[in-house]
Amino acid sequence: MTTPARLEEGHEMNRIPGSSDANEGPAEPRTRNNNAGHENFRGDSDFIDDAPAGWPSIAATQLYYPNFSIHRRFSYLLHRVLIDQETKLAYLENELEKLDKKDKENDADRLNSLPFDPETLLASHTPAQAQYQPTSIQTSPTTSKAGKEQKKTNEDNRWDDKDLILESAISRLKNYHELLLLGKETQNLPRISRREHRAFYDEVESRHTLFDASAYQFLYPNDDFVTTNTDRVHHYFERLIYGDTPIKKLIKGIFGRTDENFNLEIDNRILVVAFKVLVVFTSGLLLLSPVAILLLVNLSRSLSFVVVVVFSFAFVAALTCLKSNWDTILVGLSAYMAVLVTFLSNLEQGKT
């Protein structure tokens, strides 16, 4: 079975020398030395070797293979909770606004004085502690009915207490804004492609078979997965890693290696170096090509301007393919155009 390589950090298939095996018995007492305790060290390979099949082995696989370290954002659930909190906060806001208008019409002095009772400032706002404590005294049906009516009256009066509404809104506002910030941070995490999601799903289904069909439910939303790995070099050549393609077979033959479990891995360290060299070389071509054209070809001013515009567009397209953010694209384009315009200006002065 083919498994993707440890694309960000390389991999070592051998166990750490001196690492403990799960089947070994307790260590014999020995004299303490400088290497005491080293036999208890556990590397990533030890976790994946010792983890039982199922959820433990899935977690170990995500630890050992960084390109399998993908997780759900739960975007729908987050927005569903946000909407729920928005409706409740909006209701509290509306009720508070009604009370303010009511005070303006009937008791304007209330808007200019303390909005709470100083005597009960430190009292709990939970009615169960002060108003509705259970009692062991036997009450008649009439008393019980009167108690229920009084309880309902007290509950209705709570909506006339602006301080109680504001106190109730504090915790909801805090949770709501924390969820907003959490959603913002989650959106900044790199998204994974459907091809990468399919590779992870196939890995779980084939090597970590879950007996309960509902256990696969967390894997179904294939557009909801992100990764915490920031250096996602494999994203640019995942076609060479995932899927059964002729190119992949060639790559496996050149860079593949087999571990002790006869699983084929692709050591991509040479691919990473080649990719980075390719990016640098392409960047150099984007800068030198317009310079060479303007220097070696006798062009009119309008055609020279067209050359600058065309290569500037190519530069932006290259940054977009590398999934750069807007700040990087704008700063890079400004620097690129500044170099070309400066060269064009100097070239024009030299001609005149």
Please identify, among 235, 251, 267, the residue that sits at the C-terminal boundary of a domain. 267
Do residues 219 and 316 share a domain? no
> Total domain count for the chain?
3
How many angstroms separate the CA atoms of 215 and 341, rounded? 59
Single residue among 232, 267, 302 that ends a domain in this structure: 267
Single residue among 154, 188, 222 that ends a domain in this structure: 188
Same domain for 95 and 153, yes or no, is yes
Is there a domain that residue 59 lies in?
A: yes
The parent domain of residue 235 ranges over 44-68+190-267
pLDDT at 74: 92
Mean pLDDT by 10 residues, the chain (352 residues): 51 41 48 65 82 88 82 93 94 90 77 72 53 43 54 60 84 93 89 85 84 87 86 63 66 63 57 77 85 84 85 87 82 87 78 66
pLDDT at residue 104, rounded to an integer: 81
Q: Is residue 1 part of a domain?
A: no
Give yes or no: residues 87 and 61 share one domain: no
Contacts of 63 (CB under 8 A, 6+ apart): 44, 47, 48, 69
Q: Do residue 198 and residue 176 come from a single domain? A: no
Q: What's the pTM value of the predicted model, to 2 decimals? A: 0.60
Instruction: Assess whether 240 and 295 both reside in one domain.
Output: no
Instruction: Output the CA–CA distances (angstroms, integers) from residue 34 to 27, 31, 53, 199, 318, in the order listed.
Output: 17, 10, 36, 44, 54
State the pairing for strand pair 70-72/225-227: antiparallel
**Does any domain span residue 7?**
no
Q: Are residues 196 and 262 in the same domain?
A: yes
Q: Kindly state whether residues 183 and 199 are assigned to the same domain.
A: no
pLDDT at residue 10, as a whole number:
45
How far apart, in whole angstroms, are the C-alpha atoms of residue 168 and residue 155?
A: 14
Query: Would you state the pLDDT for residue 16?
Result: 37
CA 8 to chain centre: 18
Claim to verify: residue 197 and residue 245 sit in the same structural domain: yes
Are 98 and 178 found together in one domain? yes
